Amino acid sequence: MHRRVALLSALTLTLTAAPVSAQATAAHGPGPVKWSATDSWPERRTVLQYWTTQRLRAARPLSTPAPRRATRSDRPTRGTPWATRGVSSTQSAQVANSPGARWTDGGAIARTTGRVFFTTADGQNSSCSGTAVTSANESVVMTAGHCVKLNGAFHRNWVFVPGFTNGRAPLGAWVASRLLTTQQWNAREDINFDVAAAVVAPLQGRTLTDVVGGQGVAFNQARRQQMFSYGFPAADPFDGSSLIFCSGRAFDDTVMTRDLGLRCRMTGGASGGPWLQGFDDSTGLGWVTSVNSFKYDFAPDFMFGPFFGNEAMAVFQAAQRTDAT
């Protein structure tokens, strides 16, 4: 079986601060699985105090489950195309392929994309990437399934740091109140459904997208489109301090999954970062239609991400209906 390279970051925890436990709160029906990350302001304060600058800077890669060949039942369910809002459909004027470069043009993407930090069940401090998206509760972050649950265990101390810069949180650190993922990722960590959402609590009386803005999010869109992918890779040759992007036309994975592929050299820590269609680099806005998920070890210059079908849409819709407080 082909092996897959992880895109997370982690460091063994040696400090003594007590983590906040996550508890499953939803029935395991056919829809998304949702659980509590924090239930009160004292718990959220504990999480915020836990993430010192030293800990934020100390994330390193960890491995995730290898993909397997998709069966008919593994294929994401498609439905009617759907999107949260209208953003400019003007394609970026600069569509030349980029396999991984620092994003220096600012715009909404620099505020809405951030690093995700959490502690795994075995005590490792880890990082992913995520994106603030427009939603009814103004509090939803889209990311990858393995950025909320891995090896059958929920992550703890979950925070989203938009606009992360050199260990600083210029737009605040937003603590998750609820975490959600697909039934398929929850049950068997099926890489075709490596999708998750976090509902983050208000910070100083304001909601997430009220502070940082939000990207659109769309589902059941056409495959093989021009994409822009963003994330905060932290494994060599990157260090997690800067927003990195890739761009090009997506292709279909023909090796082991039903995922989308993109030429991209981003490394560990980029997991959960957005893939955007219809991206306009004059505004930094687009529609999130996938997230960074995995790489094959024999193809390090290519990234793969799940197709946002009905299952991903159900996760988002459940998240935007969830009370963030």
Other Cβ atoms less than 10 A from the Cβ of 70: the count is 17
pTM assigned to the model: 0.86
pLDDT of residue 240: 81
Q: Which two tokens stand for residue 35?
A: 């659980």
Q: Give all domains of the chain, ordered by start, each with its CATH number.
A: 4-320 (2.40.10.120)
- The pLDDT of residue 78 is 64
Distances (CA, A) of 294 to 147, 166, 235: 12, 25, 14
Give the per-residue pLDDT at 66. 66
- The predicted pLDDT at position 181 comes to 98
Tell me how far apart the alpha carbons of residues 40 and 105 are, in angstroms, rounded to a whole number.
38
d(CA 154, CA 149): 4
Q: Give the pLDDT of residue 58.
A: 82
Q: How many residues are given for the chain?
A: 325
Name the stretches of the chain with pLDDT < 50.
1-3, 5-6, 8-29, 86-95
Which residues, at least 6 apart from 108, have a Cβ–Cβ distance to it below 8 Å?
A: 213, 215, 283, 284, 285
Q: Cα separation of 213 and 116, whole Å?
A: 17
Contact of 249 with 225, CB cutoff 8 Å:
yes
Cis bond before residue 19 (omega within 30° of 0) = no
Per-residue pLDDT tens over the stretch 198-208: 999 999 999 99
**Of 114, 128, 142, which is closest to residue 60 (Cα–Cα)?**
128
Q: What pLDDT shows up at residue 97?
A: 62
Judge residue 42's burial from the number of C-beta atoms within 10 Å of its C-beta, 0-12 exposed, 13-18 middle, 19 or more buried.
Answer: exposed
Q: What is the spatial distance between Cα 263 and Cα 250, in angstroms, rounded to a whole number?
A: 8
* Alpha carbon 25 to its chain's center: 21
* Helix/strand/coil (H/E/C) assignment for every residue in 192-231: HHCCEEEEECCECCECHHHHHCCEEEEECCCCCCEEEEEE
